[in-house]
A and B are shown apart, each in its own frame.
Chain A
Amino acid sequence: MRVDPSAGLTPMLEVADISVRFGAVQALERVGLTIHRGEIVAIIGPNGAGKTTLLNVISGFYHPTEGRILFEGRDRTHLRPYDVAALGVARTFQNVALFKGMSVLDNIMTGRLLKMGGNVLLDALYWGPAKKQELEHRAFVERIIDFLEIEAIRKSPAGRLPYGLQKRVELARALAAEPKLLLLDEPMAGMNVEEKEDMCRFILGVNDEFGTTIALIEHDMSVVMDISDRVVALDYGRKIADGRPDEVRADQGVIDAYLGVAHA
Chain B
Amino acid sequence: MLDLLYAVVVGPVKDMVGAPTFLAEVVIGGLAAGLMYSLVALGFVLIYKASGVFNFAQGVMVLFAALTLVGLMERGVPLVPALALTMLVMVALAFAIERVVLRPLVNQEQIILFMATIGLNFFLEGFGELAWGSNVKKLDVGIPDSSFMVWGIQINRLEMTAALTAAVLVAVMAVFFQRTRIGRALRAVADDHEAALSIGIPLNTIWIVVWSVAGLVAIVAGIMWGAKSGVQFSLSLIALKALPVLILGGFTSVPGAIVGGLIIGVGEKIAEVYWGPLVGGAIENWFAYVLALAFLLVRPQGLFGEKIIERV
Interface residues of A (CB under 8 A from B): 59, 61, 80-82, 85-86, 90-91, 93, 97-102, 106, 109-111, 113-114, 116, 120-121, 123-124, 130, 134, 173-174, 177
Contact = CB atoms under 8 A, between A and B. Distances in A.
A111 B197 CA distance: 11
Interface of B: 176, 180-185, 187-188, 191-192, 194-203, 205, 209, 306
Contact of A90 (B183, B199, B209): B199
Indicate the member of B180, B191, B192, B202 with the most A CB atoms within 10 Å. B191
A91 B187 CA distance: 19
Contact of B188 (A59, A80, A99, A121): A99
A78 to B, nearest CB: 15
7 contacts: A59-B198, A99-B192, A101-B306, A109-B184, A110-B196, A113-B200, A114-B199
A216 to B, nearest CB: 15
Nearest to B200: A85
B185 A110 contact: yes
10 nearest A-B residue pairs (beta carbon): A85-B200, A97-B195, A99-B191, A81-B197, A114-B200, A82-B202, A82-B200, A110-B188, A124-B180, A97-B192
A130 B198 contact: no
Nearest to B91: A121
A113 B195 contact: no
A98 B187 CA distance: 12
Contacts of A123: 180-182
B184 A81 contact: no
A110 B198 contact: no
A90 B198 CA distance: 7
Nearest to A177: B199
A85 B198 contact: yes
B142 to A, nearest CB: 27
B182 A102 contact: no
Contacts of B306: 101
A106 B194 contact: no
A106 B191 CA distance: 12
A109 B178 CA distance: 12
B45 to A, nearest CB: 14
Given A106-B184, A109-B184, A116-B181, A99 B201 contact: no
A193 to B, nearest CB: 26
Contacts of B197: 61, 80-82, 85
